[in-house]
Amino acid sequence: MCGIIGILSTTKKDVGLYIYDALTIIQHRGQDAAGITTANKGRFYMRKGNGLVRNVFRTKHMEKLIGDMGIGHIRYPTAGSSSEAEAQPFYVNSPYGIAFAHNGNLTNAETLAQEIFEQDLRHINTNSDSEILLNILASEIAEEQKHRINERDIFKAVTKLHQRVKGAYAAIGMIPGYGIFGFRDPNGIRPLILGERTTTEGTKYMLTSESVALTALGYKITRDVDPGETVVIDRKGQVHSHQCSDNSRLSPCIFEFVYFARPDSIIDNISVYKSRLRMGEKLAEKIKSQWPRDEIDVVMPVPDTSRTAALQLANELDIKYREGFIKNRYIARTFIMPGQKQRKKSVRQKLSAIELEFKDKNVLLVDDSIVRGTTSKEIVQMARAAGAKKVFFASAAPPVRYPNVYGIDMASKNEFIAHEKTTDEVCKVIGADKLIYQNLDDLIWSVQQGNPNIKSFDCSCFDGNYLTNDIDKPYLDNLEAIRSDKAKETNMTNESSELIYNDAD
């Protein structure tokens, strides 16, 4: 999972500063690398590197990122590669010059890489599937062999791209002297939203992964980009859109609502915050039906994502809600740490317990999900060390038992704590006295209530149903071989591997 930004201004040449601000707002979507590319008078200006946004860009860099349009990217790698070469945006010189940023994962990347070399006569310089996607697009645009491009050429190229590419992708591109554009995969798995900000000086348009980047910078939300749709914004500020897929169906990733997105975001007309409130409500109903009410003394969230669900759960159960853990906000999100050892080490660095809230109490800890169980096990131990009599654990999401192939770091089923285990067995492994999971139907209901027009979601990590219908056992075995924690640790010390890693770019 990554974050993408594209801004076009009809007057000012200061978009680099706004892209920087927007990237800091969606920094939660990736902390491995950041990059900005702007365009001015037909030229690209680029800065990218490993690290947080605030560390990659200095004043001297921002002064050079001039232009009336630009795109930005923050990266979270699923393969554990932290090579600076993988940082985005990418660009190609021909045709026209195209800068490009991508969030998602291509499931046929290896086939496409071979096609690009043999049919399109193009060279791929990194292990990133984002570079593959860019070159597919560039190749299709080049077919027109025109000196000047227009929105119809982009629509036609993206239509052909959809026919060749499989997987999940939301992408933003920029052509100097012409404008910016964005498109979304036919299933709408990855989010993309359009907004604008009009002042006396002119209008700025933004395409981005989450609405919070718009609202925090004073933009008005226009609408979500539809699945399979392409939106083009030219330098005159004219917005063009076209449906480029005959088989589009909105099926957004449900894990965006569980964990990745900020609670103050709205994705596909669904409030992330309210969906998490409903998750807490449904989980409380399940607890009421299975556990004695007086068995729990206090409800505590595992900061930060579970806080909303935990608060609603406590209200529904009429039990005290307390903040028992204090979070060190200078530690990156442990879920997206590239290896098990690094994740385990960072849990104790990230959280500390307030002993007064635990001592001699039966504590119900609430987390958004349990994936590998690393954090859960450590937190249960911390609660016991702080004096808790009993430690119960609740997950606002169902058990994660299947690999995610669409851009989330859940590729190795053998590393999932719930793989081939019952709830009681998972409970024993994490050291809790009791464990309860959200039902999948209740999770879907919690999200779908925000937009009843959405009839399906990507729930593949919970139910093993893959929307693109191209995932088989050999694919999953290969994915596990290159994305397991062991493979990541090897990859981090050997960035020159010849394998193509389908990054969550």
Domain(s) labelled CATH 3.60.20.10 in the chain stretch across: 3-251
Is 367 in contact with 302 (CB distance < 8 Å)? yes
Strands 270-271 vs 298-301: parallel, antiparallel or unpaired: unpaired
Domain(s) labelled CATH 3.40.50.2020 in the chain stretch across: 274-452
- Which two tokens mark 294? 């007086």
Q: What does the alpha-carbon distance between residue 410 and residue 427 come to, in Å, rounded to a whole number?
A: 20
> Does the annotation count 2 as an active-site position?
yes
- Which two tokens mark 93? 């010189």
Taking residue 325's Cβ as centre, other Cβ atoms within 10 Å add up to 22
- Catalytic residue, from 2, 244, 253, 461: name it: 2
DSSP state of 224: E
Give the 3-state secondary structure of residue 505.
Answer: coil
DSSP state of 291: S
Give the 3-state secondary structure of residue 233.
Answer: strand
Q: What does the alpha-carbon distance between residue 317 and residue 281 come to, in Å, rounded to a whole number?
A: 9
Q: What does the alpha-carbon distance between residue 311 and residue 280 come to, in Å, rounded to a whole number?
A: 7
DSSP 406-455: SSSS---GGGSTTTT--HHHHHHHHT-SEEEE--HHHHHHHHHTT-TT--
Q: What does the alpha-carbon distance between residue 159 and residue 143 come to, in Å, rounded to a whole number?
A: 13
Write out the binding residues.
Answer: 305, 367-368
The b-or-e profile of 434-470 (16+ CB within 10 A means b, else e) is bbbbbebebbbebbbebbeebeebbbbbbeeebbbee
Going residue by residue through the chain, which has 505 residues, state the pLDDT in tens, using 9 for 90 and above: 799 999 999 988 899 999 999 999 999 999 999 999 999 999 999 999 999 999 999 999 999 999 999 999 999 876 545 678 899 999 999 999 999 999 999 999 999 999 999 988 899 999 899 999 999 999 999 998 888 999 999 999 999 999 999 999 999 999 999 999 999 999 999 999 999 999 988 999 999 999 999 999 999 999 999 999 999 999 999 999 999 999 999 999 999 999 999 999 999 999 999 999 999 999 999 999 999 878 999 999 999 899 999 999 999 999 999 999 998 876 655 554 555 555 555 676 788 999 999 999 999 999 999 999 988 999 999 999 999 999 999 999 999 999 999 998 776 888 899 999 999 999 999 999 999 999 999 999 999 999 999 999 999 999 999 999 999 999 998 888 877 666 556 555 554 444 444 444 4
CATH, domain 3-251, list 3.40.50.720, 3.60.20.10, 3.20.20.10, 3.40.50.1950: 3.60.20.10
Which residues lie across from 446 on neighbouring strands? Answer: none
Sign of the dihedral defined by the CA atoms of residues 102, 106, 110, 111, in that order? negative
Question: What architecture is the 274-452 domain classified under in CATH?
Answer: 3-Layer(aba) Sandwich (3.40)
User: Rounded to 10 degrees, what is the CA torsion of 353, 354, 360, 366?
Assistant: -60
> What is the number of helices (H) and of strands (E) in the chain?
18, 22
Cα 267 vs. chain centroid, distance in angstroms? Answer: 12
Is 401 in contact with 416 (CB distance < 8 Å)? yes
- Which two tokens mark 225? 């980009």
Question: Which 3-state string (H, E, C) describes 365-415?
Answer: EEECCCCCCHHHHHHHHHHHHCCCCEEEEEECCCCCCCCCCCCCCCCCHHH
Q: What does the alpha-carbon distance between residue 475 and residue 483 come to, in Å, rounded to a whole number?
A: 12
Write out the binding residues for Mg(2+).
Answer: 305, 367-368
> Which of 67, 86, 37, 109 is CA-nearest to residue 500?
109
